[in-house]
Amino acid sequence: MDGKIDVLLYGVGAIGSFYAFILNRVPSVRLTLVARSNYEAVKANGITLNSDIHGKHTFRPFKVVNNPTDVAGHYDYIVCVNKAINQDAVAKSLTPVVSDTTTIVLIQNGVGNEDPFRAQFPNCSILSCVTWVGATQTSPGIVTHIKSENTEIGLFPNSLLSPTLEATRLSDFTALLKAGNTKFVVEPNVQIRRWEKVVWNVAWNAITSLTQIDTQTWLHSSPDAIPLTKALMEEVIEVARKSGVPMRDGLVDELFTKILALPGVYTSMQKDVVARNPLEIDVILGVPVRKARELGVKIPVLEVIYTLVAAVDYGVREGKLFP
């Protein structure tokens, strides 16, 4: 053994490129990237990160591939930073590079992300992460990072494994984040943070995608905009609580204080509509809707929003959106 930690990072968009930069600067890490739409650019030129915090860096990881089947052997960590679309297919595609000692790290929006990976890899540890990194891929392999930077990370507990082993795998991965000089917080119940971000994303991603206006324009568009948005958020919070996630009181007011302090926000889902890319509809909207229906929670606003965003997503996939 050469003492290297083998890490496969799946998805090299803006956020994936940021975490590739963090992990690539750790001497003990041997990093392989699975790049898709920007494969040719990253393979030829590496990744360039222009960061307000870390400065400008161009780097080339150990290996860049287009598909997990293009590499041999098993990895210590598989870090999924892809958009959470077709999660079942992604999990199955990783089977050749996963062993029972592999730890899977999910850095994605949404809730329910872990389930396909737990089903596919029942003997693996899963680390679940919420990221607050402000990054944009301005062209293939070129990423701009502003000052927003934090990772909330915790275990998706596996009853088949000892808590001590799981805790060790979590601490070993956070040691890599620390060595890569990025901010993180270990969460005892990371599902709380996941649902808090879903409350945010259900509102702003969905509404901006449907209206194609920024958040400030929406909030000032009519007297009904703020009450409707708050009702939508409250419905998602109620679904989380009925699902056993202890959401705190006052969260809606906190999120509104945050959004009102920002200039008008254009969301990633809104940008996907403009670019005619498939939307992360399932993990952001679909899972809360399904859980509400299973648990008998009334979600009149959420159901309408979900149905409308699903129509936009269908239009994107079918090439039917108005030019």
**Short-list 209, 215, 238, 197, CA closest to 313:** 209
Q: What pLDDT is stored for residue 236 in this prediction?
A: 98
Q: What pLDDT is stored for residue 3 in this prediction?
A: 86
* Neighbour count for residue 125 (Cβ, 10 Å): 25
In this structure, are strands 142-145 and 47-51 parallel, antiparallel, or unpaired? parallel
Collapsed DSSP state (helix, strand, coil) of residue 184: strand
- Which residue type does 278 have? P
pTM: 0.95
Q: What pLDDT is stored for residue 192 in this prediction?
A: 98
**Angle, alpha carbons 236-239-114 (nearest 5°):** 95
Q: What pLDDT is stored for residue 112 in this prediction?
A: 97
In this structure, are strands 135-139 and 142-145 parallel, antiparallel, or unpaired? antiparallel
- Which residue type does 35 have? A
Domains, the chain, with CATH or none: 5-188 (3.40.50.720), 191-318 (1.10.1040.10)
In this structure, are strands 47-51 and 55-59 parallel, antiparallel, or unpaired? antiparallel
Residue 322 · residue 274 · CB < 8 Å: no
Considering the chain, what is the average pLDDT of its residues? 96
Sign of CA dihedral 13, 240, 120, 128: positive
Q: Tell me the pLDDT tens digit for each residue of 207-257.
A: 999 999 999 999 999 999 999 999 999 999 999 999 999 999 999 999 999
Residue 199 · residue 264 · CB < 8 Å: no
Residue 54 · residue 21 · CB < 8 Å: yes
DSSP 18: H
In this structure, are strands 77-80 and 103-107 parallel, antiparallel, or unpaired? parallel
14-18, 220-224, 231-235, 264-268: the lowest-pLDDT one: 264-268
For 57, the enclosing helix (H) or strand (E) is strand 55-59
